Structures are given as C-alpha cells and as structure tokens.
Amino acid sequence: MTTIENILNRRSIRRYTDTKIDTDTMHTLLTCAMAGPSCVNARDWSFIVVDNKDLLRKLADCNGRPASMLPDAAAAVIVCGDLSRAFKKAREYWIIDGSIAAQNIILAANELGIGSVWLGTYPQMERVNNIRHLFALPEDIVPHSIIALGYPDEKGNGDKLLYEENRVHFNRW
C-alpha cells in the first residue's frame, strides 16, 4: 500500500474485533507519532496509551457521545500537548504539532491493518477538563485528541468526497 493509496482509502473505523494490539505494533505507531515535524522542533506532545477496559469506559464518558465506541476498542492513544515545551513566542503551535502526531498514528495504523477513528477533544474544554481530571494531569499537559484503535470489524463508509475544485485557487484568491 503506497502512502497515497493509504491516504485516499482510509476510512474511520468504529467497530473492532477482540484482537489486541501487541506491544511492538503500538511502539511503531508511537514512533510514527513522534516522527512528524513540530514547530521549531519543540516535540511538544506526550501520549497516554489506554487499554484497560474500565479506563476506556471512563475515557468514553469524558469525551461525549462520539466516543461511545471506546470501550470496544483494543486501545486508545490520547495525544496531549506539552505546553512546557511549546514554542514560547506562539504556544498555540502545540495544536498543530499534536494534529500531525495524531494523523501519523492513523495512517501508520491503516497500513498495519488497524482501524481507527479520531475523537476530537480540544478545543471542547469540558472534554479536556474531564480527561485532565481522570488522569490527574500536570497543568502543562493538555489533552488534544483521542485515537481509538482496533482491528476492523466493519469496512467504514464507502465513497468519500475527495477533490473539490472550488476549494483550490491558483496564484490569487
């Protein structure tokens, strides 16, 4: 599977088999997360891997209705920003750097046959604060997104809208 095929064919997967994700595979996903660019190479993120069922249930409760599949996932990776490492002149780059890490996880997972769905947390501050509380996070650590992961038990949606000509402008708006 080429990267371009991966990007174009990836679908959000919300139903999973009971198969676990092994330690080496999770290590690969996290290595990919940490291989993306970050603002001034600040690497301003941290990751919480959750595979405890009780904790997945609590995490689902933290993140609203769209996270209801979490207890059935093999694992979740909570991508967090680390504001203590963020670019001091413009800390909000942490949001971009966390997004890059999360997208790398999703694409690497898809190549390995692991389905995923991106669950938005930041900037919905109730969700952010619920997760902060659940894990008693240090003040500088901000939950960004949750990536639910598992071997697929569905195909995901079929056709996906791709290129839209009216979204592209050449040399002028």
Distances (CA, A) of 77 to 48, 50, 73, 167: 6, 6, 11, 32
Q: Hey, what's the torsion of the CAs at 50, 10, 13, 79, to 10 degrees?
A: 20
The only residue of 18, 24, 37, 65 in contact with a copy of itself, by rule CB under 8 A:
37
The only residue of 13, 14, 21, 48 in contact with a copy of itself, by rule CB under 8 A:
48
Q: Which of residues 89-108 bind a copy of itself (CB under 8 A)?
A: 89-90, 92-93, 95-96, 98-100, 103-104, 106-108
CB burial of 133-154 (b: ≥16 within 10 Å; e: otherwise) equals: ebbebeeebbbbbbbbbbbbee
Q: Which residues of this chain interact with a copy of itself, rule CB under 8 A?
A: 1-4, 6-8, 10, 12, 27-28, 30-32, 34-37, 39, 43, 45-52, 55, 82, 89-90, 92-93, 95-96, 98-100, 103-104, 106-108, 110-112, 118, 120, 122-124, 135-138, 141, 145, 160-164, 167-173
